[in-house]
Structure 1
């Protein structure tokens, strides 16, 4: 049953109902969880703030308090997740004027986050030591992500019919809801729906591995009465054990995706092609993620340019 609110009621109560009415069932579970985290922080920082008490100065103070413990981009997300509910409250006359207007977004300086990946020799060492049995196991999953750069949820959702062995193509058009109750879900964005080329070795390996499997069922998720739960930590743990045993830098499954992209960039593949293969919404995402690699390549390009110019006599 829905509550009728007045300006004297608590903002957090209104916001909680607003999330249930407008967001539940309309957005991905992962995104919905972020709204509930925002709700929890609002309850912590402004538990007694009424709807009528949401003014420009009280809202700015809420943002400032949140910014003390979070980076600027996280504060921006916090602001946007609150703003929709606040503007609806303004439309309903529960808040007199838009308190989010001209808000100043603060936040801690972002930590220096350098992505973790393996170089070509290290990746070769890892793949050479995988136990690739005649039946599906997580070692096959590691090989697949390393050679395609797929996201964890995309690789889990793969079915035998997604492989076009005749044309050496792999269709990525869905994800697996491993954080929930299982089942297929849409991809992260429209750009994530893509077809990528696979090498002939993968064609031979996966055609043999999947030939007796149900065409429409996920390859890496076991099905009994219901689908078995799958955890990211399971594969990360296996990968960590391999890395330690082989004396390699410890990376995660997502680090395999970074490894794939990094090797392509170092091999001279264009940023546009890497972005399409990874399913990034734009090249900007690729450039930001792999900035340090691109800068390293640009330094090599300067030497190449200078040598080329010196030969022009």
Structure 2
């Protein structure tokens, strides 16, 4: 193990680090994020050598990146780079940790699109759907709205995943829609493999929709064809515009599903399990604003109760 500062280019080290530790260990979509980080390092600091990394040079790299990115994106970049730097430190290629006490800057965030619909707005949308006898994007929208599935998870649903007797939808795979050849792939994380209770009406509709179809073939992906999330998002945008409700994405329907459950008093652990989050912390962070609003309502209820004692 080396115990002296390395003089190789930092971009070269980072490329080798990705190959050594990330290839084959993370999902392709995650690997592409690390490769994108490498592209930024190569562009912003092409002549930065590993032994030149100190707090000042590292902060300068972050500052350059922050000029064109929002603060949260800079934070993600920092975490990707820091992981490699800490390994270099452990291997003796660096003497000190240049990421210590780094300051995260960034551009002001853009105005965020609406993430979820109200119950009334969702009801308007679902009543607007054209549900025929064959699988369609309208059916897909209904499934996501009623289950909270991720886009790739809903694409991977097969007739075998619909348990009519127990009214359960099983999530066992996701669909690699970003690949030109498609195909099943692992879910986002181990906890994403789950069984989702569904209402009897949706189960009956899906069972009818799947009649005569192969048990192991995706319900919503035509055989031999590629699908794009922009297709269903365009349909959603058109429907929302026609109805005069906020325009949301297909992922926004997942947020809508979770938000409405929380407002109805469903516990955070139950919502987290239904969404397939790695832990409840993810759920709490994603829906912090709703949780805080519910806590305020709870406080009012407590005060009202105490005043009656």
Length-normalised TM-score, structure 1: 0.87
Which residue number in structure 2 is paired with residue 179 of structure 1? Answer: 178
How far 1:246 moved relative to its partner?
1.3
Q: What number of residue pairs does the alignment pair up?
A: 303
- Contact 2:6/2:94 (8 A) holds in 1: no
**Cα root mean square deviation, aligned:** 2.4
Q: In the alignment, which residue of structure 1 is the partner of 2:104?
A: 106
Q: Is the 8 A contact 2:66 2:107 kept in 1?
A: no
| Equivalence for 1:219 | 219
2:280 to 280, 283, 288: 283
**Structural mapping, 1:119-130, within 5 Å:** 119-130=118-129
CA displacement at 1:213 relative to structure 2 = 1.2
2:203 aligns with 203
1:68 CA displacement: 3.9
Shift of 1:98: 4.1
Name the counterpart of 2:32.
33
Contact preservation (8 Å) 1:60, 1:103:
no
Aligned to 1:249: 246
Tell me the residue number matched to 1:3. Answer: none
Q: Secondary structure at the match of 1:166?
A: coil
173-182 vs 54-63, which deviates more? 54-63
Structure 1 96/208 Cα, relative in aligned 2: closer, same or farther at 3 Å?
Answer: closer
**Structure 1 residue 30: Cα displacement:** 1.1
Cα gap change, 1:96 to 1:265, in 2 (>3 Å): closer
Residue 246 of structure 2 is aligned to residue 233 of structure 1? no
C-alpha offsets along residues 179-211 of structure 1, whole Å, 9 cap, x if unaligned? Answer: 123111111112211111100101110110012
Q: Quick one: distance in 2 between partners of 1:92 and 1:281?
A: 30
More deviation, 196-205/177-186: 177-186
Question: Which ranges in structure 1 are unaligned for 5 or more consecutive residues?
Answer: 1-5
Following TM superposition, by how much is the alpha carbon of 1:263 offset from its aligned partner in structure 2, in angstroms? 1.2
Secondary structure, in 3 states, of the residue corresponding to 1:170? strand
- 2:174–2:187 contact (8 Å) kept in structure 1: yes
The answer for the alignment partner of 2:191 in structure 1 is 191
Further displaced range: 176-185 or 67-76: 67-76
Of the structure 1 ranges 171-180 and 296-305, higher mean CA displacement relative to structure 2 is found in 296-305
Looking at structure 2, the residues matched to 117 and 64 of structure 1 have their Cα atoms a distance apart, in angstroms, of 33
SS in 1 for 2:50: coil
Q: Tell me the distance in 1 between the aligned counterparts of 2:269 and 2:88.
A: 43
1:102-147 CA-partner distances (Å, limit 9, x unpaired): 2414223774757521111111111111111101101000000000
Matched, 1:118 2:113: no
SS in 1 for 2:170: strand
Q: Which residue of 1 aligns with 2:294?
A: 297
Q: Secondary structure at the match of 2:165?
A: helix
**Pair 1:96–1:207, CA change in 2 (3 A):** closer
Counterpart Cα distance in 2 of 1:99 and 1:162: 49
**d(CA) in 2 for partners of 1:115, 1:222:** 31
Distance in 1 between residues matched to 2:300 and 2:35, nearest whole Å: 51
Change in Cα spacing, 1:210 to 1:13, as seen in structure 2 (3 Å) is same
TM-score (norm 2): 0.89
Which whole-Å CA distance do the structure 2 matches of 1:186 and 1:258 have between them?
22
Deviation of residue 148 (structure 1)?
0.4
Quick check: 1:75 aligned with 2:74? yes
- Structure 2 CA distance for aligned equivalents of residues 204 and 99 of structure 1: 58
